[in-house]
Amino acid sequence: MAAKQRKTFDIFARIKRGGELIHIGTVEAENEKLAKVYASFTYDEEDWSEMIVVDRSQFVWVKKPHGLFAQKGERVR
Amino acid sequence: MDQAALLKEKIQNGFIVEGLEDMNEEYLNALKQTLTIVGDTELLSIPPLLTVYDQAPTLNSKITALAIMQDEIGHAHIAYRLLKDLGQDVDELLYKREPHRWKNPYAFDFELSNWIELGVFNAFFDRAGYTLLGDAFEHTSYGPWKRALVKVDKEELFHLRNGEIIMRTAMQDPQLREEVQKAVDWMFLMALEFFGVEDRLKSRSAQLEYRLKGRTNDELRQKWLSTAVPFCESIGVKVPAHYDEEQQKYVLDVPFPCKFDPVNKKWLFDQPDTWDNVIKRFKQRGPQNKQFVERIQKGAKELEQLRKDAV
């Protein structure tokens, strides 16, 4: 089923110039083009000055919060 | 200290849960249950709105109604996306689940009778959503949900204002005035049922202990009444509730809960009921439950069949 080929994209946006870049949500899409369309239609609560979709699998984590119940010594994925 | 006690203590001190590794089983289950109710409620609000959207009096009203439905789909999407990140099979949840297992309010299992009912739906039911989700926005311990609710909070306020405009405008027309009163007569108590069982009948609530929400059912019901009743009084609509100075709270002038006649959309005030029976009525579902859920699932099922036929 096509659903299995979908990827998760995180969405970041800035309301106006000089404002903070904030994480506003996520969408699932087969590719970047569709992710852009889904993001702009789903998150239309502001007239954003910037909006970015990022494939979650491409995140390079430098630091993550340590899970409260993560096993001792286990690295947070 | 066991995991549950540790997590509850940390949360009461302001700890924000960010991922699965911060949760115990009980927290995860309570969160999934809450998000399923929220997602189902947002999504299943659309079929009743669609039953009358072609009765919109102006093109602008129709565009507004469609914008509201688009918002609701967006809100449902947020809840289901959060569920997916928690490991839930959302395709299964959306397209394979039997209609009677959906968790939307009983009030959404009814067709609307006219455009005025759409206005009261927005003014009352979206107000209930705004009250419930506004509380979650303010208090929830789950970080990803709190952040997602910024959008929801903003848009639900717009929906309930749209409902108020429809009601206020209709009250100036003698014929429509009667329709407003008729709609309010069945939808007022329906909205109060959104907040669930009375506090005194609940032994404990994981939602409160883990601070998925901050206020109790009765407190939320009072919050809804504190804005809905003054609004209705200000436009001349009669509601079965008033503010009691002595008790310093809103009290109902009719038995609540009480029996409901789903065919005539009428409360049977001479037949007070118990919350146990109300829960039974919720589980039996309302008249359009099957039809409305099938409408949501129709496209996905047809597409799946086309794929099978093509292979």
B161, B163, B210 from B6: Cα distances, Å: 42, 44, 11
Phi, psi dihedral angles at A25 (to 5 degrees): 160, -165
Q: Which residues of B touch A42 (CB under 8 A)?
A: 74, 77
Question: B247-254 contacts: CB < 8 A, separation 24 or more?
Answer: B249/B222, B250/B222, B250/B225, B250/B226, B252/B192, B254/B189
Residue B227 and residue B127 in contact, taking contact as beta carbons nearer than 8 Å: yes
Binary contact (A26, B307; C-beta < 8 A): no
Q: How far apart are CA B70 and CA B90, in angstroms?
A: 19
pLDDT, one tens digit for every residue, chain B (311 residues): 799 999 999 999 999 999 999 999 999 999 999 999 999 999 999 999 999 999 999 999 999 999 999 999 999 999 999 999 999 999 999 999 999 999 999 999 999 999 999 999 999 999 999 999 999 999 999 999 999 999 999 999 999 999 999 999 999 999 999 999 999 999 999 999 999 999 999 878 899 999 999 999 999 999 999 999 999 999 999 999 999 999 999 999 999 999 999 999 999 999 999 999 999 999 999 999 999 999 999 999 999 899 899 87
Binary contact (A68, B15; C-beta < 8 A): yes
Q: What tokens does B154 get? A: 């903003």
Q: Which residues of B touch A1 (CB under 8 A)?
A: 91, 304, 307
Sketch the domain layout of chain A as residue ranges: 2-58
Could you tell me where the beta strands, DSSP code E, fall in chain A?
7-14, 22-29, 50-55
Give residue A36's pLDDT band: very low, low, confident or very high (50, 70, 90): very high
ipTM metric: 0.84
Binary contact (B21, A43; C-beta < 8 A): no
Amino acid at B202: K
Per CATH, the number for A2-58 is 3.10.20.520
- May I ask the CATH class of domain B3-8+16-240+278-310? mainly alpha
B21, B184, B202, B213 from B206: Cα distances, Å: 18, 33, 11, 10
Beta-carbon-side half-sphere exposure of residue A49 (alpha carbons within 13 Å): 8
Q: Which residues of A touch B10 (CB under 8 A)?
A: 68
Out of A8, A41, A43, the one facing B151 most closely (by C-beta) is A43
Interface of B with A (CB under 8 A): 3, 6-7, 10, 15, 17-24, 70, 74, 77-78, 81, 84-85, 91, 147-148, 150-151, 154-155, 304, 307
Q: Which DSSP category does B122 fall into? A: I
Q: Tally Cβ neighbours within 10 Å of residue B10.
A: 15
Among B16, B21, B83, B88, the residue to mutate for chain A (most A Cβ within 10 A): B21
In chain A, which residue's Cα lies nearest the Cα of B90?
A3
Q: Which residues of B touch A23 (CB under 8 A)?
A: 147
Range in A13-22, A64-73, B267-276 the model is least confident about: A64-73
Mean pLDDT for the stretch of residues A33-55: 96
Q: How far apart are CA B161 and CA B181, in angstroms?
A: 18
Sketch the domain layout of chain B as residue ranges: 3-8+16-240+278-310
Mean pLDDT for the stretch of residues A54-69: 94
Binary contact (B10, A43; C-beta < 8 A): no
**Burial class of residue B92 (count of CB atoms within 10 Å of its CB; 0-12, 13-18, 19+):** exposed
Binary contact (B10, A27; C-beta < 8 A): no
Give A23's strand partners. A12
Q: What is the pTM of this model?
A: 0.94
pLDDT at A77 over 50: no
Q: Tally A–B CB contacts below 8 A.
A: 52
B18, B50, B118, B160, B228 from B163: Cα distances, Å: 35, 15, 7, 5, 11
